[in-house]
Chain A
Amino acid sequence: MTIKDVKDILGARFICGEEFQDREVHAACGSDMMSDVLAFVKDRAVLLTGLCNPQVIRTAEMMDIVCIVFVRGKQPDETMIEMAKEREIALICTGHRMFSACGMLYSKGLGGGAPYR
């Protein structure tokens, strides 16, 4: 699916990066712990998180994550938005909670990769 599909499935809105909405996403990872995210390597991944600080953007940058979904209506500040724009990472905000948001994407075919070994 594409970033736009993710946004539509979650009834979400773009905070920035709308111009990248046609980019493909292949997997997703949902966590508030950035070290858990750093243990997850997938190409063209989406990160769902309720954490809202600059390290979320940096973690996404290190992992080549193409889109971050902030759950529970979390709103990134200007610093984070600027960082995301510089790194061409799309930011999306949804009111859904983590479990629901992950389930909605999973049920539409977006996987989470193999179990952690």
Chain B
Amino acid sequence: MNNSDKIKDDNKSYWKSLKAYDNDPEVLKLKQNEFVDGVTDEFKSSQLPDISRRKFLALLSASAALTATACTDYRDKGEIVPYNKRPENVSPGTANFYASTCNGCSQACGIIVKTREGRPIKIDGNTDHPINKGKICAKGQASILNLYDPERLNNPTYNKRKIDWSDADSNIIDALNKSQTDGKQIAIVTGAIVSPTIKKVFDTFTAKYNNTKIYSYDLLNDAIRRDAWFECYGSNDYPSIKWNEPNIILALDSDFLGSEGNYIENMNLFTQKRETLSKLDFNRLYAAEGRMSVTGSLADYRLRIPPDQQYDFVMALTNELLKKGSAISINSQVQAKVQKFSLNKFERTVGKEKLTHLVEDLNANRGKSIIHAGDTLSKDVHIAVNLLNEILGNTQIYDYKKTFKTVLPGSTKGDFKQLIASMNNDGVGVVIHFDSNPVFTLAGDFGYTSALKKVETIVALTESENETSSVAHYTLPINNQLENWGDAYVRGGVYSLQQPVISPVFNTRQKEAVLLTWINGKTNSYSHNIYHNFLMDNFNTEIYPRKKPFSDQKTFWLSALHDGVVTLDENIQPSKEINTSALLNTNESLSNGFVLHLTNSYYLSDGKFANNGWLQELPHPITKVAWDNYAAVSPNTAKEISVENNDLVEVNINGRNLTLPALVQPGMSDKTINIELGYGRKVCGDVGKDVGSNSIKLISKDSSISPFIYSNASIKKSSGTHKLVTTQEHHSLDDTFVKDFHRIRNIIQEGTVNKYKNDSNFLHHEKHEVFSITNEHEYNGMKWAMAIDLNKCTNCSVCISSCNVENNIPVVGKPQVERGREMQWMRIDRYYSGTPDEPIVSNQPMLCQHCDNAPCENVCPVNATNHSPDGLNQMVYNRCVGTRYCSNNCPYKVRRYNFFDYRDEFADAYYENDLTALVNNPEVTVRSRGVMEKCTFCVQRIMEARSNAIRDGRELKGSDVVTACQQACPTNAIVFGNANDPESPVAKLRDLNLAYHVLEELNIKPNVTYIAKLRNTHSEEIA
């Protein structure tokens, strides 16, 4: 039976209706012809609309696509491209760390650069570095922003027009050769050089173009100290100070804890004698100064002595102490000279008691004290100080192991005068500005700028446009320090290496490589590793043989790069006997009228950091002024010339004048004007342009005392005002209404060493028992807590700078700071007590206290801020609607609110560009406007430590987490850890008798413990 038959049979056996059963013909017919006529017949393709099937499908898909796309609000936010070939050693989400050397100033601290997916995001100190020991300054921390500065130059220019590197190179090589054949000088003007390899490049350059002269100049330098040392001991290399040893320190206008020398190293050593946890062996700091420096603010006794009278003061002191004996023999001539000076002169301003204490202390601690003069003081003072230290037998405090070395001696005033004369006589063919800005930093009366006009070819090698490049013919963009190879030799036995951590972002070159190309004479000789090889060769010939390692050259090079530093054994050469007769040439100081003291700015250096918003916005450690410099005068002087804060004053010295706002600074000596340098850049990026006033204008090439001190200044009130903005409201010290609130409210609790020795519990006598009426939450596992030792806090603000970088804190700009909307999560509060003439300064780092009973938490209507089981006061940005109630209810006012979208608020969205966004730490959310934020105790670091602990299968320990501020703190004043672990340092500090909480009586149970500051005075009272 075939298939069709079977179907027929089936048709018979199954029936659907009676008609079908009866085999009705109509049904049969239907069965035969399944497709009835009239259904398909009516279909005529010609009657269809003349749209093709293809077109119909096209339209259908197009409309579907349109509908789909129109309904999304997707905006193309650029591309995220995965690695198609993963670079070696880069795993997404994991940071890489590279050791390098900081180029921020001539101290060349060792740094560790943290990179994520190939981009540097944080700079910290290199713990292996023997000098800075894992710490760097606020400038170093913030300098990461310079890499991502949108105004970095990205192409060579000739007369402001873009040219190729090869054209620039060949033109300049021609100019160099022409200058050489014409017998004209080629001048290389550079900043301070600390790199032996750059020195070698210069030498090679000079060998090739032998008309070359190198001029090295830094606005801020140790030249005076070095000169004085040379006159006393015949050596250019002067020793560092073992700050951890002397019992008595007298700082003569020396800001060794704030801005001079390697202050990071200094404060670390200094605070080793401010340890409260172990035995109480405190040093005593006397500061004699006219301005109010950080060092002065930390002094146990502060003596107000104007900078032009420091010589008289140190001579009088010498006279007084010489009477009581001397460790060296002093000839009669010197003795006679010294005898002319008497301390009586200072009794009126300083007070007899302080002077007596000082003389007695120095006398009693011969060999265990040190007198240190500031960088800005005259050579005469330095010579007198050197002698006094000898008389007291303090030479063992000198650290010859860590001597300050000279790679390339700085040029003298005479050198520059010659250069300028030569320029004016048409004797200079080419001037190469080797990453220097002399048009801005050289004293105006040199006439450098006008002399430059006579020079045929002016070259500026610079990262971004500056005053010098604006008058240069060729502006050649150079690498940022993080794109550079390099080395440094600043201190005895310490050779450090610098390696790039990112390839050049722009079309820039390493400045040394540019010189090497010109030395070679062929433009095509440039390659990106030309200086890398040069450096390596130098290392192999100079360092490798000295160290004599067991490894081969390449391995040693790589291990040195890994460590960032090589320590070398050097012969320690203590100085010869002092040449006491150097003192005979020194002169008594004459003071008539006002004295002007120009000092280092704390964060801008000589203006090179002017375009760094993080640094401009970092408040001044004492005055808390941001975004400006000013003429600081004492309250009495302000009254005398009838000025108040913000009034414009005109400062005049021999016709050089400057108009700038005044600031009344308590504690300054009368008739003293203090102005910081480095402000008032005119050719600069948008951030630093016209911020503050250029006080370099007041410097003269013919200064008599020192370039920084002028005793014949005049000051008068000018018309108008200029608003200075501070992050802390100024309260008049003599306003009894609000006077000493920080003491009355126990915000600052202090004592003296003597008081503590007699009564270690003195802080807690007046305490009431605070109890809760409800059951409190218990913390049984981890409990994060911080302790801040106020004995060690020097107000250096590195913690703030580090926090800014770690936590993506935006720059808000001067107008917003004026409105009190700065975003820094950390601040250092500064309080004055005492009198306006003799204020006592107290500092207090203030950040979120992560209270157990946090008042911010219960008032948030949406639960955006809440508590973690391990004691963190958390902030959920995504949940925050921005009622600001939490901030209102925070008694410490440490919460920060995004009043605007601060990513684009500053200077017309200055920082909102593709480049600057790369500085952000990818582990920390970038906050939008309308959201509250605050210190998180670096929760991202806690989470990382926790996941590492889980990965390793071990318990998380408090010591696994180091917060950004703690890591950065040069004196280790900040301690973080698990309060529930009795062995942890933080728990021990919490139990210390000196421990207290701010606003304890509110029973909000803060978790930041402060260790009360002890002042080492002679009495039980704070001086």
Are A and B interaction partners?
Answer: no
